[in-house]
Structure 1
């Protein structure tokens, strides 16, 4: 049986976003391209789809951490 990885933390999110391209240090806001990249990472790693409401709530790194924790904890 394969175990599901834990929800990503702040460092994970920042690392994933860095995979798209260079981000200014301390950047908090997530732009539309970064959000699309982040959603792709989540879908690949966790096999879940995010609702429009969840996507709209992910405007900063901390928002993304909170939404993904909520979604992935209830998904297991």
Structure 2
């Protein structure tokens, strides 16, 4: 299963608060991250069980992309 790329992740995050993609910053707060995980689970039909350590690695868009790639690869 292929992971979302940067454009897809930013697109998902822009749905939180109905923002333009250009308004999505690099740093993610906990609500944005929760939203992103829910969007990924829905889009990919998976349930992600993320440890606190894995979750903490997703504090930025880049970190989220890298972590999602690893988690989805291991999941699928």
Give the TM-score taking structure 1 as reference length.
0.81
Query: Aligned partners of 1:48, 1:29: CA distance in 2, in Å?
Result: 24
Deviation >6 Å, runs of 4+? none
Aligned residues: 72
Structure 2 CA distance for partners of 1:38 and 1:26, relative to 1, 3 Å: closer
Structure with greater Cα Rg: 1
Gaps of 5+ in 1: none
TM-score norm. by structure 2 comes to 0.81
CA RMSD of aligned residues (A): 1.7
Structure 2 alignment gaps of length 5 or more: none
